[in-house]
Chains A and B, each alone.
Chain A
Amino acid sequence: MRHDHLITSKQLSRGDIETVLDYAAEIDDDPSAVADRHAGTLLGLLFFEPSTRTKMSFETAMKRLGGDVVDMGSVESSSVTKGETLADTVRVIEGYTDALVLRHPKQGAATMASEFVDVPLVNAGDGAGHHPTQTMLDLYTIRENAGLDDLTIGIMGDLKYGRTVHSLAYALTNFDTRQHFISPESLQLPREVVYDLHQRQDGTGIKEHDSLEDVLPSLDVLYVTRIQRERFPDENEYQKVAGEYQIDGDTLEAASDDLTVMHPLPRVDEIAPEIDETDHAAYFEQAHNGVPVRMALLDLLLSDDKGIGGGTDE
């Protein structure tokens, strides 16, 4: 199966993922080999929500492929303030560009937008829904540090609204993984996601917890996300749980020496700075991996001779 748009990690088979990760590794080894591959190509960046890392890494990736970007700027300065629909915006900008990257606060925005355009459209985050390119760089980082099979991963923090978590969890079901989800009860995975995970992986590899303590020693990877204070209607409720989901040197005494700690960033206080200099920390490497991974994805989506997909396992 060949994909013209990248909307969700659900659409990717193991073969698709390996194609992207292998190609990203090639690019990582020798970026100059693809430096001119997309000279003259324009990528449209449509970010309806603030973003620093994702937007800049797409911009860097496109420029490192020899192409360029056009950017609609902030929402406040765009035609959105005049009441233009997303459907109209993407139809206009597709006429200027060769591909689109969309971030939008509404769930399903990328799915809907893809129905209105012919150029490849990449979902860079749709509300609490999906963030598949973050997932690809997460998988790349996990593969580099711990491998993707026979993997035990803990995913901790705001699992309810965390689109990076949902996308990663779906993608990991393509591999031999055991996933432990650790969160306060109020921020558990949405039931839709749990339903999907059980459909995709018979449920035996999926477990939910409210404490890290019990599972930490068994983990190869701990993926931490921010507990978002603004999600709690009551500050006291936030204070009750926030401290339990922070990682410091003392916390990791019970962990394997090989534990890899990841975070999609930005972090606030979920991971103490003292972890940064340890062998556990992979979050800055994870952010840097966004460029080769997005270079690989863009090249695969923009090249007639490539495309994502074509694997034999879907």
Chain B
Amino acid sequence: MSNDHDHHDGNDAHELRVSKIRDGTVIDHVHGGQALNVLAILGIDGSNGEEVSVGMNVPSDRLARKDIVKVEGRELSQDEVDVLSLIAPDATINIVRDYDVVEKHRVERPDVVEGVLSCPNAGCITTGDEPVTSRFSVLEDGVRCSYCETIVRDEIAALIDT
């Protein structure tokens, strides 16, 4: 099986702009424009020499325009996938080993994410120096702080506690 797995989108030419990886993760069907936020969630800024390929706003049958992120030498943890699901609810995670896709699954939105987002409400107890881990429940269209109950629908990526 090839890791150029989106043949049914009919965008081979576009896909080929992004190189194949040998071992790692391909995050596909990310909504157009969210790829850099995906990298932020994964804590990837290039400073550690990670080998990463990014395609942005490539045509897709399913999403019209999609982003795709390929990370060499790294398989995502479930926690990372959970947070990823908040900004890329339609993403597909492909685990690649020796150029073959050995696992492929859609992200699933968790009920709760802990310790990964910061509450934007300056009046929230979690924004002080308390020994508390942030906790957000996941709504259909956003996230909600479990402490102050603030709902965030847009710009969730900006809350990522990096």
Contact = CB atoms under 8 A, between A and B. Distances in A.
Contacts, number: 57
B124 interface: yes
Contacts of B149: 107-108, 129, 192
Interface string B106-129: 000000000000000101111111
Interface string B138-151: 00000011111111
A238 to B, nearest CB: 21
Contacts of A146: none
Residue of A83, A104, A106, A115 ringed by the most chain B CB atoms within 10 A = A106
A128 B149 CA distance: 11
A112 B125 contact: yes
Contacts of B132: 87, 112, 115
What size tier do the contact residues of chain A reach? 20 to 34
B131 A85 contact: yes
B130 interface: yes
A109 interface: yes
Q: Is the interface of B mostly helix, strand, loop or mixed?
A: loop
Contacts of A85: 128-131
Given A129-B149, A192-B149, A87 B130 contact: yes
Interface in A188-214: 191-192, 195
Q: Say which size band chain B's interface belongs to.
A: 10 to 19
A111 B123 contact: no
Contact of A86 (B121, B127, B130, B151): B130
A15 interface: no
Interface of A: 83, 85-87, 104-109, 111-112, 115, 126-129, 191-192, 195
Given A85-B130, A106-B125, A195-B151, 19 more contacts: A83-B129, A87-B130, A87-B132, A105-B123, A106-B127, A107-B121, A107-B123, A107-B147, A107-B149, A108-B126, A108-B147, A109-B125, A111-B125, A111-B147, A112-B125, A112-B126, A126-B125, A127-B148, A192-B144
